[in-house]
Amino acid sequence: HPKALLRAIQEDGDYLLKLSNQHIVSSDQFTQNGLLQLFRLAAKYEANPRRFSTSLQGKILISAFYEPSTRTRLSFESAWHRLGGDIMSITDRSTTGIAKGECLADVAEMFNNYGDCVVLRDNNETSLEEMVDSLRIPIINAGNGSDEHPTQALADLYAMFKWRPELVTEEAAEHAVSVGIIGVPNKMRTVRSLIKLLCKFPNAIKELVIIHDDSVQDELFGQQQREQIEQAGISIRTATDLDKTLPDLDVIYINAISWEGETFNTYGKTFSLTAKSPLKEGAIILHPLARGAELSTDLDHTPHNWYFSQARGAVFLRMALLTCMVQRAERVIDVV
């Protein structure tokens, strides 16, 4: 329940003021305390969702999604609506001047005139960079190619900490969990962002286990990514037999994107989860969704299903983030 997490985090509202008018591009931007304060505010919203329904009244969100999305777009839009704001959506870049060759810096300049915040999903990794210098309103990276998806990672960690609030306390090491990631971390934007956040809570992680096929052993991490994990002091283990590894894991993170195309046809069936998988009692499965055949629907009605909670919590997490980015400081203090 969100209230247990709320109680576990001591309030320090000053950090939240620092997010005002900031762009959110990468998970690297957050500090441990900053994350805790965001989760605390998200838990506050989740515990009492109707209480703060007008704080973004008169503000306009530009929701620009140039790749398909169910959760990220709708949960950002739901969060904005729940805070009382208005929304303009672009779901197809070919309906904008970009189709006529307009440069992204000019599009960004126009966004300044029409809205108060932009959420952008683009398959092109560099679009954000091309817009940021021209923007005077904050922009949120909602997935840029295979690079990052920082707000998904925030939602992932928020779900994990609601499941085990002890992980945010000074006794975290006594309750540390083994986190298994199925697939190639360097190729999944949600995982790239999540690993950056896990590195801020090394005491909460007993070990990170990467479950993969032998053929991708050399592609698992980028150099920077590996260095970041090592510097955080988190131990990494790799494994190729999912069923032998599952009984050791407290959190299993699986993602459809890791099994794209040929890879899924070749290895997907070996690395899929079903209700018959030998999961540890009390273990949770996280999946950013949309799912493919790697996550069987027969798990939906088991206690291992935390992926639906993960998606639901994203609304409150995004409410917290938007509040801090777009509201005036005195109103953030009121909410905190």
Residues lying near ligand CP in the complex (CB under 6 A) are found at 69-72, 143, 149, 152, 288-290
Q: Distance between CA 102 and CA 22 in Å, rounded?
A: 25
Between 314 and 336, name the residue whose CB sits nearer to ligand CP.
Answer: 314
Least Å from the CB of residue 155 to ligand CP: 8
Least Å from the CB of residue 93 to ligand CP: 16
Dihedral over alpha carbons 183, 178, 278, 220 (to 10 degrees): 20
Q: Distance between CA 127 and CA 131 in Å, rounded?
A: 6
Q: Distance between CA 44 and CA 61 in Å, rounded?
A: 22
Between 52 and 264, name the residue whose CB sits nearer to ligand CP.
Answer: 264
Least Å from the CB of residue 306 to ligand CP: 14
Say which DSSP state 95 is in: G
Within a 10 A sphere around the Cβ of 48, how many other Cβ atoms?
Answer: 11
Write the secondary structure of 142-203 as one string of H (helix), E (strand) and C (coil).
EEECCCECHHHHHHHHHHHHHHCHHHHCCCHHHHCEEEEEECCHHHCHHHHHHHHHHCCCHH
Q: Distance between CA 202 and CA 176 in Å, rounded?
A: 9
For 268, counting Cβ atoms within 10 Å of its Cβ (0-12 exposed, 13-18 middle, 19+ buried), the class is middle
Least Å from the CB of residue 116 to ligand CP: 22
Between 165 and 288, name the residue whose CB sits nearer to ligand CP.
Answer: 288
Between 6 and 62, name the residue whose CB sits nearer to ligand CP.
Answer: 62
Least Å from the CB of residue 252 to ligand CP: 16
Between 127 and 327, name the residue whose CB sits nearer to ligand CP.
Answer: 127
Least Å from the CB of residue 189 to ligand CP: 9
Residue type, 235: S
Between 47 and 90, name the residue whose CB sits nearer to ligand CP.
Answer: 90
